[in-house]
Amino acid sequence: MTVDIEAANRELAVARQDEKPCPPLRGRLLPEGDVEAAYQVQQVYTRQRLGKGHRRVGAKIGLTSRAVQENFGVFQPDFGVLFDDMAVGDGVEVPIGRLLQPRVEAEIAFVLGADLPDERVIGVDLIRAVDHVLPAIEIVDSRIAGWDISIVDTIADNASSGLFVLGTTPRRLADVDLRLCGMVLEHAGEPVSVGAGAACLGNPLHALQWLAGTMARAGDPLKAGDVVLSGALGPMVPVTPGAAYEARISGLGSVRTCFSREVS
C-alpha cells in the first residue's frame, strides 16, 4: 500500500479540531506495523506545534506495562513528545472538553539534570543524569475512534498523549527503590488501578534507558531540564466526568487530578 504521511497527519488534526475521533490509520494511510512511517507522522505534528510557538518540555514513554501491551496487542515501547501546554497543576480541574477519550494512569516522572547524548547509555549514566523524580498522572487520550489502536496508530498520534500532572514532592533516586515502589490509583477513595515500578519494563529506569538510547540514535537526545514520563505502573482507567483521581506511589508521595462535569 502507499504510505501517506501528510494525509495521516491531516486526519489526526481534523479529529483534534472537530473533537471527533477518526478511524484507525493502519491499513488505510499507514501500513500495518510500519513504525518508521508512524514516527514520521509524529514528527510532522511536532514541527507544526513548535512552529506555532509551543515549547517541547520532554517526552513520554508508552506501552511499558505488560498489562497495557496485552490490552492493545503490542510488545514494545513507544514514545511521544511533551509540550508546555500539556502540563496541568496538581489538583487543578481539567475541563473535560479538552479531551476526546481520556484515560488516566499513574507513572513516575524523571526530571533530568544533565544531557543524555550517548546511544549506548548505561545505568550509571542515568543515575548521574536524573536530578529528581516525582509522582505523576498521565491523562492519555486518543484521536482514534474507540481506542482501536495498534502501535502504528498510537505512535502517529503522539503516543496517544493528552495531558500530564506532576506531583510537588521531589525525591532523589538514592532515596527510593523505583522497582519496588507500590502504586495505587484511587477514585472516590476506592482503588481503581494498582501496580508497582516493576510493571514498567521491570524497572522505570529501564524505560528511561530505552528512551535515551532511542532518541540519541535518532539525533534528538534527551537534555537537561527534560521531563520524562516513565510509562504506566498499572492499568489505565477511563475517565468519568466530574471525577477526581489520586495516585499514591510509595516513597514518592501522591498526585491528584480532577475533571469538570460539563463540556466547557
Q: What is the pLDDT of residue 76?
A: 79
Please tell me the distance from the alpha carbon of residue 98 to that of residue 111, in angstroms, as a whole number. 26
Which segments of the chain have a pLDDT < 50? none
List, in sequence order, every residue forming a beta bridge with 165; answer none if it has no partner.
88, 137
| Helix or strand (DSSP H, E) at 154 | helix 151-156
- What is the model's pTM? 0.95
Q: What is the pLDDT of residue 70?
A: 73
Please tell me the distance from the alpha carbon of residue 96 to that of residue 44, in angstroms, as a whole number. 27
Handedness of CA 94, 236, 243, 188 (dihedral sign): negative
Hey, what CATH topology would domain 55-259 get?
Fumarylacetoacetate hydrolase; domain 2 (3.90.850)
Pairing of strands 253-259, 93-94: parallel
The structural domains of the chain, with segments of one domain joined by +, span 55-259
Question: Do the beta carbons of residue 18 and residue 10 sit within 8 Å?
Answer: no
Please tell me the distance from the alpha carbon of residue 50 to that of residue 259, in angstroms, as a whole number. 27
